[in-house]
Amino acid sequence: MKSEPDAYSWEQLLADGSTHWDGVRNYQARNLMRDDMKEGDLVLFYHSNCKPPHVAGVAQVCKEGYPDFSAWDVDSNYYDPKTDSEEPTWMMVDIEPVATLSTTVELPDMRANPALEGMALLQRFQRLSVQPVGEEHFAEVCRMGGLDTATI
């Protein structure tokens, strides 16, 4: 899951203890959160649009897909007037931190690692803010960050 650190950072998640992943307004990302993400699923928390972009920590899903109520909150930045609470269009999950990587894993290093070939994040112009990660890629990113997935 991607977040711009200025908007919502890993440090903020640590401080909050958990968060609603609200504001996703893309159908593909919505479908992943609604259909595929299950409680306990691990998540790479990625800081985008910063120098360099990097994975900062591992989180997990602590609440499965449910309506993103910010869509019908007129005061929210994510207000979507075309949707209503009767038939919610947008869904979110809640996540909580599991482990901070001892060293952040930077995008250029990920690109340089042949073991991560094919990872969605590394595809050119991959803008999706929620993406699936294969188990082996996940473990490799953790390893690069000094975290042994077996200990999670």
Partner DNA sequence: GCCAACGTTGGC
Least distance CB 77 / DNA (angstroms): 10
Q: Is 82 in the site for DNA (CB under 7 A)?
A: yes
Stretch that binds DNA, among 22-30, 31-39, 65-73, 93-101 (CB under 7 A): 22-30
Shortest spacing between CB 139 and DNA, in angstroms: 21
What single DSSP character describes residue 71? Answer: G
Q: Within 10 Å of residue 17's Cβ, how many Cβ atoms?
A: 9
Task: Return the ∠ at Cα 109 (arms to 105 and 113), rounded to 5°.
Answer: 115
CB burial of residue 36 (10 Å; 0-12, 13-18, 19+): middle
| Cα torsion angle, 103, 106, 109, 111, sign | positive
Q: Is 125 in the site for DNA (CB under 7 A)?
A: yes
Instruction: Choose the binding region for DNA from 36-44, 90-98, 122-130, 143-151 (rule: CB under 7 A).
Output: 122-130
Residues that bind DNA (CB under 7 A): 2, 4, 25-28, 48-50, 53, 82, 107-108, 111, 124-125, 127-129
